[in-house]
Structure 1
Amino acid sequence: MFPKPFKKLHDHLKETLENREITTPNSLQINSIPVIKSGINTFCIAPAGSGKTTTLILTTLQALQCEAVGEAPRAVVLVENKEKALEMQDAFMPFTRRTSLRLYVAHEKMHIDLQKSEILAGIDILISTPKNLNKLFLLNGVHTSQIKIFSVDDADFLAQQSDYAALLSISQSIIKSQYVLYSEKLDAKLKRFESYFMEYSKKVSDQ
């Protein structure tokens, strides 16, 4: 028997957690998963090693109900660079295995036309870097109308002005989505997003 909030997750996620011998949520997951599942824009603040990536994966797949739908991406995960993108892909794989979900990784090292054609062929979850995703959006390489949840992993890297500006540009291309930013601290620069796409946001932590 899973305790809350794992108890209310999709059966596939509970089975995967059990197979990985993760049966008890930590304090961050207890505080954050119900808030994120409710659809509220969320700042998820916690130190390294506190389970932010697992929380991101669980809430993303929960929002998509662990199944493929349509052709346009319904979830976006923003990361700092190619290495982080590949690490995130590896972290997702145990949870997307034996589902119909289509996971796609895009970064600056890939040819942009190849990315466009592969994305338009149909995906559910898009992992990308800010500058690369902004370029795709500007070239109409991603349909944005179906995006349900947009997460940023380790958002501290948005202190870099180019990434910060790219995310602001990206947000202007998305009509409606839930945003979840994961970070070790909520500094003034991240809080500034409240004036743009993080309206009515809630801060949760592992405290």
Structure 2
Amino acid sequence: MPFKKLHSEIKDALERLEIDTPTPFQKNAIPAVKSGANVFCASAIGNGKTTTLILTTLQKLKCEAVGNAPRAIVLVANKERALALYDAFLNYTKYTNLRVYVGYEELHIDVQKSEIFEGIDILITTPKSMNKLFLLNGVSTSQLKIFSIDDAEFLLQKSDNNAILSITQSILKCQYVIYSDKLHPKLKRFENYFMERARTVSG
């Protein structure tokens, strides 16, 4: 069986999108993330990192809406990446009741606060926007299960690096997964902050 032990609605989406065989990277990464461990996922562009992020997020949330506070957060570099990932998520969630929300610096923070307050399951945003939400009590992390960072090379910039450290210090407990092309030493340093006992998957 190509994609093993995934929620039936995820399998339906994969079939609809005509994705039937995991990449070698996905064969290792998906079980590692499903295990609940913190994971560094390093692989070249085109090996399925973003699809892995989406599939494991949906699996963690069991493809269903629950409560009002986000149970999954995905950090990205900028507005363009946030909107692209939002569209990618919608390909998989269109026949579920999961609520995916996208935020970024250019969208007024009061608009984000009020829309998030209405109830969401997955929040896609940038570090600066997320940090601002935290400072204004605009988002609760009390129900958070998984926190992913897509194409994490942008965290090598000092301002984004400081923002992620500030954000994670405010989160009591959840699973962290960092996706990048290569496992940079600066990313590896996050083991000293929030990536405790992290596993590494590469390929």
TM bucket (normalised to shorter chain) is: over 0.9
Residues 1:82 and 2:79 aligned together: yes
Q: Which amino acid aligns with 2:147?
A: F
CA distance in 1, matches of 2:184, 2:43: 13
Structure 2 residue 116 is the aligned partner of structure 1 residue 123 = no
Amino acid corresponding to residue 38 of structure 1 in structure 2:
S
Give SS of 1:7's match.
coil
The answer as to whether partners of 1:44 and 1:183 remain within 8 angstroms in 2 is: yes
User: Structure 1 counterpart of 2:64, which letter?
Assistant: E
RMSD, matched Cα: 0.6
What code does the residue aligned with 2:30 have? I
- By how many angstroms is 1:188 displaced? 1.3
Give how far 1:21 is off: 1.3
- Percent identity reads 65
Distance 1:105 1:20 in 2: 22
Q: Is 1:114 matched with 2:111?
A: yes
- Please tell me the residue identity of whatever aligns with 1:17: L
CA offset at residue 26 of structure 1? 0.7
Instruction: Provide the C-alpha distance between the structure 2 equivalents of 1:115 and 1:35, rounded to a whole number of angstroms.
Output: 33
TM norm structure 2: 0.99
- Which of 98, 117, 142 pairs up with 2:139? 142
Moved over 2 A (4+): none
Residue ranges of structure 1 left out of the alignment (5+ in a row): none
* Corresponding residue to 1:101 among 92, 98, 103: 98
The residue identity in structure 1 corresponding to 2:167 is I
Aligned residues: 203
Q: Deviations over 1:147-173 (max 9, x none)?
A: 100000000111110000000000011
Q: Where does the alignment leave 5 or more consecutive residues of structure 2 unmatched?
A: none
Q: Work out whether residues 7 and 14 of structure 1, in 8 Å CA contact, stay in contact via their aligned partners in 2.
A: no
The residue identity in structure 2 corresponding to 1:132 is S
In the alignment, is the contact (CA less than 8 A) between 1:150 and 1:180 conserved in 2? yes
Shift of 1:98: 1.1
- For residues 123-161 of structure 1, give each alpha carbon's deviation from its aligned partner in whole angstroms, at most 9, with x where no partner exists: 000000001101101111000111100000000111110
For residue 148 of structure 2, give the secondary structure of its aligned residue in structure 1. strand
Q: Secondary structure at the match of 2:153?
A: helix
The secondary structure found in structure 1 opposite 2:164 is: helix
For 1:8, what is the secondary structure of its paired residue?
Answer: coil
